[in-house]
Structure 1
Amino acid sequence: MPPAPQSQRQRQHATLALLGTCALFAVLVAGLAGSVPVPLHEVPGALGSLLAGAPDGMAATLLDLRLGRASSAFVTGAALALAGVMMQALVRNPLADPYVLGVSAGAAVGALAALLFGAALWAVDLGAFGGAIAVSLLLYLLARRDLSGMRSGMRGGGQGGTRTGESGVLLLTGVVLASACMALVTLMLSVAPESRLRGMVFWMIGDLAGTSWRLLPWVVLVAALVLGLRRARALNIMALHTDAAVTLGVDVVAQRRFLFICSGLLTACAVTTGGSIGFVGLVVPHACRHAFGPDHRILLPAAALAGGSFLVLADTLARTVLAPQQLPVGVLTSLIGVPVFLFQLHQLHLRRR
């Protein structure tokens, strides 16, 4: 017998409360851990001086720096995970990645071009965001018929045929644009002077060093999450079959455009903040779907909280495991993500046999 709606809502609330507690714990660990640890008994006073707007003492200064970096790590991880859920809903493939459409590669072109010419940090951020948006717009223009559902799976009644028709041109166009952008990235890396090459490579790997409090990624994340939750029922229906969604009155074209725009903006903000950090948008949504089910009403916020917590802990490990030397966080996310993804892929294969 299926669970009563009230019981199901209680379980969902308990799940989100648990993930929210994990997120707070991850941020606390990030604030305390480092090459110079912050004693636990000094935390209340340090937090009080931070809230007063005037950090007083070493503990308050360290917390200000570390919590600012943890804030950037959390919003980056949450944006990548949420973009992953939306991208998987868009192409109807649970193994899709937010970088699959070339948005990250476009951001890399813009950011590395700014780094190559020695631009300031704000110009690097602007170049990354501009490159991501430019690729998104070009992709939309080249694949707008596919994105609008005009090639949707009216061919062949099966679900497999629908999936191919819905996302084929969109995915192939994204792959081609990503290849073109990566060719430009390779060109810039080959001509870059050695004094700037290290910073460019770290950005490509994914690095949160030097990041602090940022408003725009939080605004985009909250707006995308709220709008996504309002469309959760339609996304659940679309996940079953596009034709069924149309029959039930879902505006599939509008929903697919919404997913494309939101996933593009989220990826652009994430890449602008932390560089090309891999596997967060692939592993976290898939793990959340396996743990909490495919219902987007719980999947969207759960993936955002889990993705943010995961990247905060990974970044904390990256800056403490070889302290005082700091590793690019993208290295750790890949080292963690590869075996986890292979395990998930193996489990998915076993369930389908």
Structure 2
Amino acid sequence: MRQRVEWFVFSAVFVAFFVLIFFAVMGQVALAACPSFSRLIQNGSYGISDINGKIISACNADKAFVPASILKIPTALTAFSILGPDFRFKTNFYLDEQNDLYIQGFGDPLLISEEIKDILAELKHRGVGEINSIFVDNSSFALEHQVPGSEFSDNPYDAPVGPIAVNFNSIPVRVTKKRRVVSGEQQTPYIELMAEVADNFLPGSYRINICRDFCNADQQMARYTTQLFRAMQHKAGIPGQGDTGIKKIPADAVKPISSYICSRINLAIFEADATFFLFSVTSKYASSNESGSIKSVYCLKILRICLEICLYLSNFSIYRTPHWYWFHLLLLLMFQY
């Protein structure tokens, strides 16, 4: 049943995408006059310079704005410069004589529920037959104080940063019509923290910042991590109970059992590919005449809708299956040739 639903959605998006592109490119759709670039930019600015640094086009260049997501560009460039293109995030796991598990994180941004399921399966395969206490060692990050400008809100993009950030430090929940809080996604089991963060929420589906109210970010990240690992431990058939919390690995009492390397490369490169995709289409269909410009703008609007659909699907397991990823790469190649 699940495969039938996946392929139905896949086919629907595939057909809708190419129908819309066909009409947009062939000019079969009634189009309004193309708005100027300055009208399209209401809360932002841009600047384009030539190879000598001379500004050749700009909009709102003298106004100050909150940088927002544009900071991802210098952040990514800095990461590539310092860490190198072959760098991979890892998470280390240690077990002591009491079968207490220590999780040492190094900032893996994609330590999601699917990864945790694979991790526990690997630990079980390596002979771990019991997990009692679960501790988080967060000593790899040097930050001692709250980052200036941080906000406490429900928004998942305001989630705190730490060496261990399961599910992006945001919690998927669904509130039923009877106000019962359940997990918001199939791959993530219910944990106690869900009821706490979704307290007094109206019926609906949400992804909530783990620190929606003022809280100790380190303690809350540890609670989320240990509760999720505990729930998925039992789901994997590994028995055991014990304490949870933050605790540094005792060097003389623990043996390393696994070092897990992030494998979700598909999701990590999706936004970069999507941006590359848009630029590819722009360069191919842009024109100096008015008709060509209108087609290009309308085509980009349609592409944006299609990409947003794919990004929405990426929140669910159906996008994390191979045929969705290859469909995505096929689109990239089509607009390059």
State if a TM-score over 0.5 links the two structures: no
The structure carrying a bigger strand percent of its residues is 2
The structure carrying a bigger helix percent of its residues is 1
TM-score (norm 1): 0.27
Higher relative contact order (CA 8 A, sep 6+): 1
| Higher Cα radius of gyration | 2
